Amino acid sequence: MGINTQALMAQLLVGLINGSFYALLSLGLAVIFGMLNIINFAHGALYMMGAFVAYFLLSIFGLNYWFALVLAPIIVGAFGMILERTMLQRLAGLDHLYGLLLTFGLALIIQGVFQNFFGSSGLPYAIPTALQGGTNLGFMFLPTYRAWVVVFSLTVCLLTWFLIEKTRLGAYLRAATENPTLVRAFGVNVPRMITLTYGLGVGLAALAGVLSAPINQVRPLMGADLIIVVFAVVVIGGMGSIMGSIVTGFMLGVLEGLTKYFYPEASNTVVFVFMVLVLLLKPSGLTGRAA
Amino acid sequence: MTSITENADIRQPARSGSEHSIAIAAMAVILIVLPWTGVYPYFIMQALCFALFACAFNLLIGYGGLLSFGHAMFLGTAGYITAHAIKEWGFPPELGILAGTLAAAALGVLAGLVAIRRQGIYFAMITLALSQLLYFVYLQAKFTHGEDGIQSVPQGKLFGLFNLSQPLTLYYVVLAFFLFGFLIIYRAINSPFGEVLKSIRENEPRAISLGYRTDQYKLLAFILSGTLAGLAGAVKVLVAQNASLTDVHWTMSGEVVLIVLLGGLGTIFGPVVGAFIIIAMQQYLAGFGQWVLVIQGVIFVVCVLAFRRGIVGEIAYYTGRSL
């Protein structure tokens, strides 16, 4: 069997792009879970909101992609912080599962409202002019925008890792994850930190939404199926380590890309099958520390 | 840390056994006379299928503390197998239902072995991912006819005697299956097995230290729950005469969570009450498009924030009975 390098490279690139989204989303889920003990089912809906905010900024205010890249995560993050302050906060001390149920309800509401106004079809969002076109690398054609998405996502992921693992703020955050009462006794405003953490996680999801808008079109249900794949990614990687989330996200994207080339029928299911294998062979997940 | 089922706190009076018998008998009588009161039989049958589905789901979450977010896989799998067996292989309805239910049981074994390897929140995510895996399998498989589903499944004659194309005959057959499943679940909850299950829900490490192999209990509960959810899916094929992707989609898994949450997690009658309310709501709001989803979302949020006992749980709390 001959291997078509062009097609293989193209699928690998698609895999890396999906991997970027998996990494950004599972990273946000892990950060939120660490502080709030909640699995944020609304993550897919908030990712979709990020893409819609980018679309509105362009079509209503004439603000282009670069503004959206900064503003959409802030706007959606602020929306997330309102959700946290008004609703999620009341779940403190209850079983984790209530957080899942509440955020599932929020996802239904957000997606339902957008579906009512925009139907189920996609709205186009053009690639910004600076990132149009591509480069012929000889063995493959590399579209500039796609390369940008991978590099930018990776940078954001690593910055988040740096923020949490290497800075003073991150140290407070990790300490509050371990023992919130003690950290409060040291005079750190833990409830505010929890709200900001939720905002950060949600902002990462919205950022992924903006990045995906020119590639996948802007659709109300664009996050609905994605979030289930991301859950599988989280089960595979475990939520114990930030770097683990990033690596697992990119790795599974590439695995999916390879499957699209070698056995396209299984490309929808390969991540789930991989999850089953991991659970059978190493139940605690690849990075180990999961409960 | 409180348990997922606040209804577990309700003290069970010693007389609850006989009270339950009376309440179950009353429910059966109401359901027997209901089609004669002018209520559309098709609506009650649909609600009964969902009620059985919800009772099966409740066995797992309400008594075992395990939240499955992929229970549609059992409903849908049994539906597809039953529909295929009846339509393509010419099975009589009783064998079709048996085939579908057994398929769900087999799936329960396989999915259970994978899912019980992790607890709590991970269990929910794993079951959701497994059901999405099956969704894509059914989307691509030939025998399910993809987006079209298996249409116009003949209803046939049960045991060669009861003509199921007669609405009233079909109704009582569906009711019989519902009561059969309901009583199995009631019996399971009130057996020594059910007591161990409740102890796992309350404190799994302690149950382990008392010498119970909790994984085996959880697996058994998962299989039983999946099998009965499958029975609901198989019977639903006879009512709706089709099997489609809707029944394996994650929205269906979410719907059964909603039914049980609204009716009352860990209550005996909650899932039945919840099923009738949600199915009625869907009938009345069918013309409002996606607003149904929004309303379901709002019910989720309200239930979690302010109404965690659910309808039957609240009644049980204020009357001091276990319902």
Task: Supply the pLDDT for residue A122.
Answer: 85
In DSSP terms, B163 is beta-bridged to B157
How many whole angstroms separate alpha carbon A246 and alpha carbon A28?
10
Q: Which residue has the higher pLDDT, A244 or B236?
A: B236
Write out pLDDT tens, residues A161-217. 999 889 988 888 888 888 888 988 988 888 899 999 999 999 999 999 999 999 988
What single-letter amino acid sits at B113? L
In DSSP terms, B59 is beta-bridged to none
User: Contact B299/A90, CB-based, under 8 Å?
Assistant: no
How many whole angstroms separate alpha carbon A31 and alpha carbon A77?
14
How many whole angstroms separate alpha carbon B207 and alpha carbon B227?
25
Structural domains counted in chain B: 1
The answer to the question of residue B1 being in a domain is no
What percentage of residues in chain A have a pLDDT greater than 70? 98
A101, pLDDT greater than 90? yes
Q: Which residues of B touch A (CB under 8 A)?
A: 1-4, 67, 69, 114, 117-122, 124-126, 128-130, 132-133, 136-137, 139-140, 250, 254, 257, 261, 289-294, 296-301, 303-305, 308
Nearest chain B CA: its distance from A235 CA (Å): 7
In degrees and rounded to multiples of 5, residue B166 shows phi and psi of -80, 120
CB nearest to B121's CB, from A39, A105, A113: A39
What single-letter amino acid sits at A73? P
Contact between residue A203 and residue A80 where contact means Cβ atoms under 8 Å apart: yes
Task: Supply the pLDDT for residue B8.
Answer: 65
DSSP B5-66: -GGGGS---TTHHHHHHHHHHHHHHHHHHGGGGT--HHHHHHHHHHHHHHHHHHIIIIIH--
CA distances from B239 to B28, B42, B168 (A): 20, 7, 11
Write out pLDDT tens, residues A211-240. 999 998 899 999 998 999 999 999 998 777
The answer to the question of residue B133 being in a domain is yes
Contact between residue B73 and residue B248 where contact means Cβ atoms under 8 Å apart: yes
CA distances from B61 to A148, A168, B65, B67, B103 (A): 45, 41, 4, 5, 22
The CATH number that applies at residue B129 is: 1.10.3470
Containing B158, the helix (H) or strand (E) segment is strand B157-158
The arithmetic mean of pLDDT across residues B260-265, rounded, is 94
The arithmetic mean of pLDDT across residues B233-252, rounded, is 94
In degrees and rounded to multiples of 5, residue A117 shows phi and psi of -90, -25
Task: Supply the pLDDT for residue B1.
Answer: 37
| Mean pLDDT, all residues of chain B | 90
Chain A residue closest in CA terms to B291: A112
Contact between residue A125 and residue A214 where contact means Cβ atoms under 8 Å apart: yes
User: Contact B254/A104, CB-based, under 8 Å?
Assistant: yes
The arithmetic mean of pLDDT across residues B52-57, rounded, is 97
The arithmetic mean of pLDDT across residues B153-176, rounded, is 89
Task: Supply the pLDDT for residue B225.
Answer: 97
Helix, coil or strand: residue A135: strand
The answer to the question of residue B197 being in a domain is yes
The arithmetic mean of pLDDT across residues B23-38, rounded, is 90
Q: How far is CA B254 from the centre of its chain?
A: 12
How many whole angstroms separate alpha carbon A204 and alpha carbon A47?
8
User: Contact A225/B119, CB-based, under 8 Å?
Assistant: no
DSSP B170-197: HHHHHHHHHHHHHHHHHHHHTSHHHHHH
A 86-115 → B contacts, CB under 8 A: 87, 90-91, 93-98, 100-102, 104-113, 115
Nearest chain B CA: its distance from A138 CA (Å): 36
| Mean pLDDT, all residues of chain A | 90
CA distances from A162 to A23, A28, A165, B47 (A): 15, 14, 5, 53
List the structure tokens of A146: 């796609």
ipTM confidence: 0.91
How many whole angstroms separate alpha carbon B59 and alpha carbon B185?
7
What single-letter amino acid sits at A35? M
Q: What is the dihedral of CA A229, B274, A111, A155, to 10 degrees?
A: -30
Q: How many CB pairs under 8 A join A and B?
A: 135
CB nearest to A235's CB, from B126, B133, B299: B126
B13, pLDDT greater than 70? no
User: Contact A106/B297, CB-based, under 8 Å?
Assistant: yes
Chain A residue closest in CA terms to B202: A95
A116, pLDDT greater than 50? yes
How many whole angstroms separate alpha carbon A37 and alpha carbon A177?
9
Domain ranges, residue B230: 6-319
- With tokens 């991978």, the residue in question is A150
